[in-house]
Structure 1
Amino acid sequence: MPENTDLLVLAGAILTPTALAGAPAEAGFVAIRDGVIVGVGTPDAADSWIPRAQRVVDLGDATLTAGVVDAHIHPVAGIGMTRGVDLSEAETLEDAQQALAAESADAGEWVFGWGLNPIVFGVAAPSMRLFDRLPQDRLAFVQLFDAHSAVASGAALARAGVTGAETFDDASSIAVDAEGTPTGYLLEHRAMGRVTRIVPALTFEERRDALVAILRGMAETGVTIGQMLDSSDPDAFDLFDAIEAEGELPIRLRVSPMAVPGSTEADWAQLADLQGRHGRRWEVRGIKLMIDGTIDNGTAWLREPDTLGESTESLWLSPPEYAAAVEYFHARGIPTTTHAIGDRGIEFVAATLNGLERTGVPHRMEHIETLPDDVLDLIVEAGVSVSMQPTHCTHFTRADHTDNWSRRLGDERADRAWRTRDLHDMGVVVALGSDWPVAPYDARATLAAAMLRRPAGRVDVTPVLPDQALDAPVALDAHTRGWWRSVGEAGGTIEEGMPAYLTAFSANPLTADPDAFATADVLLTVVGGDVEVDRTAVTARG
């Protein structure tokens, strides 16, 4: 007998586990009560459910999938990281200089930019050459795309009191020339913090509105859940509470605060105490760590130096302290996920996780950018999951190795880039995400990049290591169920008893051309049983 339900969704194709396994996707319905899927069936069976549903959404011919999850985002930190002009499309230094000059015409005291690819500097390191079109006394700060480095103007460095002689309790650094004068290039978070601490702050209301817009944008591309891998902004929880005082967060957030390099057991205890703090659509669960920085700015941890002699050490000045942190959280049943980009960093993290007692606490690794076979085997042995960002590969590297990332690694290591297919085929749980604001958060483009190994819509671009492409069912599973598996929870499938997170597209991601799917309409998102995005009426009128 059909039950009373809060929501009934009708769709032309429902991607149940059998459809992902290769069976034809069939039309039908999904019934939801109290945030849980309580019925999945055929169109004929839907007739008896409709009278008992408080709300019915008819998607027509559209395709309903399990809710898309972005496994790696920084929505609160991204408020500050995306101030000013978007430089992600700048292809030359002149492009960036002109964009900053145009931005300065309407900017206040400070000129901001973000998303800049260091490739615009050619073989040279990023420097204050970026600001050659600005007056020398202009305060300016530009975040590079990797979110691990920035360039500040001479005036900004002077106001912040930066001399170039600063030292840090991790591997952060301030680049200097042969005379010891800062070049403007700031590597890693503590070095950037020497300047960002003097940047005029946005008001709380501005930050609240910006966060709503960011999360709303994510929802409109199909995202229903995001894992926020930091809580460095002290007002993060206050922002969540303020939004929920007036409405709902547009997506569910799982917040994993960071145990930063150089932190102590006292710091870890404070992070442990945060576990379980929550609102209606957000909760603190898990811990984020970082073993290294990025290849692009020479702060990754490689087995052998990069071609510039850099990327030779961990961000933790004493790597065993990282292992001690992981063991601390593991012993308390707290999941961790670790940023690991260079081959030596990945190896150290995998070995650390492999040495933990198997107690069922789930652990994960982020990024996995250059991966030797023996380290892949170690990840498999450790039994941990991975979180991968397909657009990092497709947006920031090139098949001919002329990009900054590949040049620094050299051909052999660059040919081990983002081995997503190999990880999956070896039985490793793979979750997909964007790492926004490092790369765009559009879930459709992320899925397309995972299948194409090039940016969606750019048929002129040669794919990067196309043998690492994921088939459509694997990519969709990684962007839905993969996250749930990676955090040790049941969900991410359209089955009775599963949490009700759903996404509907105008095209079927299993059968549509990936380039075309990247521009498909997102018609519906359901977050914990509640309709958050509903564009069915808009589409019908259009």
Structure 2
Amino acid sequence: MTAADTVLTGARVRTLDPRRPWAGAVAVKDGRIAAVGEDADVREWRGAATEVVDLGGATLTPGLVDGHSHPVWGVDMSAGTDLSAVRDLGQLRAALAAAARDLPPGGWVTGWGLDHNAFGDHPVHRALIEDALGGAPAFLRLYDGHSALASGAALAAAQVTGPRTFAQRASVVCDANGPTGHLIEHAAMELLADVVPLPDPAQRRARLLASLHDMAAAGLTGAHVMDMQSPGVPELLDAVEADGHLPVRLRLAPWCMPGIDTEGLDRLIALQRLHGRQWRVGGVKFFMDGTVEGGTAWLERPDCHGESTDALWPDPAAYTRAVHHLARAGVRTVTHAIGDAAVRHALDTVELLGDTGAAGRHRHRIEHIETVPADQLPRFAALGVAASMQPLHTAYTRADHTDAWSRRVGEERAARAWRCRDLRDAGAVLVLGSDWPIAHHDPRATLATARLRRPAGAPGTAPVTPEQALTGLMALEGCTTHAALAAGEEHEAGRIAPGYRADLTALAVDPVTAPADDVATAPVRLTMSGGRITHRG
């Protein structure tokens, strides 16, 4: 027997492998799991250079994976002031005034994570913040990532003076006096891309590495990255790996947006061959709609503002043709679909492919699925479409339906919000993620909130659709085995078994049986990604 590089012992190993559900020790060699056994077996795995780590009774699980994240783009998106704690206009104006006071000459106020609910009954409008800025240009991303508020000076810098026409459903919101500053959807926000300052390359790289190390410290070993939007992503990741090790394994899905032609689709196919040691391009991301709060979700009936009746793709059939083109080339597809009409069309698109046998199962997945009728639930399992959801997003809603999301969709649709349990009970593969920076990347919070349907550590907060709570095992599977299925990696990831990747997470408590509030704050004893220890606690 060849000696292991690392031996992990003194653990309760929850393998998620039905052939051997429990063990006490794991041996790792060349980035793979070499053996799984008990503490008594450790001696035969050891060599002179083997590192032995005693986990002191911690629970070792397959490595936790964030099923929906934006770690590289998120570095750019989360620049400036964190506005996620702002609850009303008074707090917003105070935060912006403080940021403006600290600006160097010619500087911009940038912010992110701003909750729509902070505006109360007011429409999102730059007039509400202009005097707090003292004339400084400002670009503030709302928490949904699909909209922003720009000040008058920022609009002027980008020469945005009125409405624009886009290939996708997007808008520069205007009133009788011109642009209100509310920019809805990516194409509208991109109008300011050339004028809003970004971190310099060295700062960007440092912030990315710091963010990835924070993720590893929280127990993450991998992330399904739902973009490749930032400039020079492959080059950035290659440069990081030239100097060391990416602490989190990244699987990237570049975007496919309305207006793309066959040549553009073929370029996306060609991107699939790009990879490094700890990263690779693996799939393509579509948007079938936008967000409920922005009025750009695609609903089967109008929302309570009479909006949300259109797809992001003005011609939904063009989306179907694009998915089919990529599928014929063997490319996995991911579709952002929040509204019920968007979910239905994405499922119809897969059904038209006819690729629902074993070879095609889980090659396609749908993200977010915020409100969906019962008749669509069994279609996920029947068509082999993976569902991907973000339990932490329920924090932007309230059980009494007084929040912006619930008031938009109305009582009936709010009552079927984030149907995680219904999808699992219907036999669907259910991947769990954060959508960082839309919500925090900590997988312990994701595991806890999936069970609680309220923020961890807040027992006084009423849960949102509590009947949709997952069991502890279901939540863990959503970050391990089901994440592997959705990526087509079920034969090398998501379990602790010989030959599988050595992506492992050790928590001080058992994430399946410990109280959910305790899971959210459980110390992370060890994180290992690709056979390398990326965090010790």
TM-score (norm 1): 0.95
Q: 1:161-217: per-residue Cα shift (whole Å, max 9, x none)?
A: 11222111110101111x151111000001011123211232111111111111111
1:20 CA drift (Å): 11
The AA in structure 2 aligned to 1:92 is: D
The reply on whether 1:50 has 2:46 as its aligned counterpart is yes
In structure 1, what is the Cα distance between the partners aligned to 2:133 and 2:118? 21
SS in 2 for 1:5: coil
1:130 CA drift (Å): 4.2
1:159 CA drift (Å): 1.5
Tell me whether 43-52 or 139-148 shows the greater mean CA deviation.
Answer: 43-52
- Which residue number corresponds to residue 198 of structure 1? 195
Contact 1:136 1:155 in 2 (8 A): no
- Which residue number corresponds to residue 510 of structure 2? 508
The AA in structure 2 aligned to 1:64 is: L
In structure 2, what is the Cα distance between the partners aligned to 1:218 and 1:270? 31
The AA in structure 2 aligned to 1:137 is: G
State which of 148, 166, 173 in structure 2 corresponds to 1:150: 148
In structure 2, what is the Cα distance between the partners aligned to 1:235 and 1:271? 15
- Which residue number corresponds to residue 488 of structure 2? 488
Contact 2:137 2:153 in 1 (8 A): yes
The reply on whether 1:171 has 2:147 as its aligned counterpart is no
Distance 1:295 1:38, change over 3 A: same
1:428 CA drift (Å): 0.4
- Which residue number corresponds to residue 105 of structure 1? 101
The AA in structure 2 aligned to 1:144 is: L
- Which residue number corresponds to residue 442 of structure 1? 442
Contact 2:28 2:35 in 1 (8 A): yes
The reply on whether 1:37 has 2:39 as its aligned counterpart is no
In structure 1, what is the Cα distance between the partners aligned to 2:515 and 2:353? 43
Unaligned runs of 5+ in 1: 536-542
In structure 1, what is the Cα distance between the partners aligned to 2:3 and 2:43? 13
CA RMSD in angstroms comes to: 1.6
The AA in structure 2 aligned to 1:253 is: L
In structure 1, what is the Cα distance between the partners aligned to 2:31 and 2:271? 25
- Which residue number corresponds to residue 7 of structure 2? 8
The reply on whether 1:312 has 2:309 as its aligned counterpart is yes
The AA in structure 1 aligned to 2:85 is: E
SS in 1 for 2:8: strand
- Which residue number corresponds to residue 62 of structure 1? 58
Q: 1:461-507: per-residue Cα shift (whole Å, max 9, x none)?
A: 00011111010011101111111111222221111222111001111
In structure 1, what is the Cα distance between the partners aligned to 2:264 and 2:231? 15
1:134 CA drift (Å): 2.3
In structure 1, what is the Cα distance between the partners aligned to 2:222 and 2:82? 25
The reply on whether 1:117 has 2:119 as its aligned counterpart is no
SS in 2 for 1:174: strand
Contact 2:7 2:28 in 1 (8 A): yes
The AA in structure 1 aligned to 2:500 is: M
- Which residue number corresponds to residue 428 of structure 1? 428
Percent of pairs with identical residues: 45
SS in 2 for 1:364: strand
The AA in structure 2 aligned to 1:116 is: L
Q: 1:432-486: per-residue Cα shift (whole Å, max 9, x none)?
A: 1111011000010010000100011111100011111010011101111111111
The AA in structure 2 aligned to 1:502 is: L
TM-score (norm 2): 0.96
Contact 2:108 2:138 in 1 (8 A): yes
Tell me whether 350-359 or 278-287 shows the greater mean CA deviation.
Answer: 350-359
SS in 2 for 1:498: coil
In structure 2, what is the Cα distance between the partners aligned to 1:51 and 1:133? 68
Contact 1:71 1:433 in 2 (8 A): yes
Q: 1:288-317: per-residue Cα shift (whole Å, max 9, x none)?
A: 111000001110000011001111101101
In the comparison of the two structures, how many residue pairs are matched?
529
Contact 1:176 1:182 in 2 (8 A): yes
Distance 1:478 1:53, change over 3 A: farther
In structure 1, what is the Cα distance between the partners aligned to 2:388 and 2:405? 19
- Which residue number corresponds to residue 356 of structure 1? 353
In structure 2, what is the Cα distance between the partners aligned to 1:10 and 1:281? 25
- Which residue number corresponds to residue 540 of structure 1? none
- Which residue number corresponds to residue 226 of structure 1? 223
In structure 2, what is the Cα distance between the partners aligned to 1:295 and 1:397? 11
1:139 CA drift (Å): 0.2
Distance 1:20 1:459, change over 3 A: farther
SS in 2 for 1:324: helix
Contact 2:100 2:136 in 1 (8 A): no
1:18 CA drift (Å): 6.1
Contact 1:482 1:492 in 2 (8 A): yes
- Which residue number corresponds to residue 533 of structure 2? 531
In structure 1, what is the Cα distance between the partners aligned to 2:419 and 2:228? 29
Q: 1:24-82: per-residue Cα shift (whole Å, max 9, x none)?
A: x55x1001112221211112222332346621111111111100001111111111211
Q: 1:271-330: per-residue Cα shift (whole Å, max 9, x none)?
A: 111112111111111111110000011100000110011111011011111001100100
State which of 323, 332, 337 in structure 2 corresponds to 1:340: 337
Distance 1:60 1:299, change over 3 A: same
Unaligned runs of 5+ in 2: none
In structure 1, what is the Cα distance between the partners aligned to 2:57 and 2:19? 18
SS in 2 for 1:184: strand
1:381 CA drift (Å): 2.6
Distance 1:53 1:64, change over 3 A: farther
The reply on whether 1:379 has 2:387 as its aligned counterpart is no
SS in 1 for 2:195: coil
1:135 CA drift (Å): 4.3
In structure 2, what is the Cα distance between the partners aligned to 1:509 and 1:331? 40
Tell me whether 511-520 or 335-344 shows the greater mean CA deviation.
Answer: 511-520
In structure 2, what is the Cα distance between the partners aligned to 1:266 and 1:455? 45
Contact 2:100 2:133 in 1 (8 A): no
State which of 262, 265, 268 in structure 2 corresponds to 1:265: 262
Contact 1:354 1:381 in 2 (8 A): no
SS in 2 for 1:17: coil
In structure 2, what is the Cα distance between the partners aligned to 1:322 and 1:50? 54
Distance 1:136 1:312, change over 3 A: farther
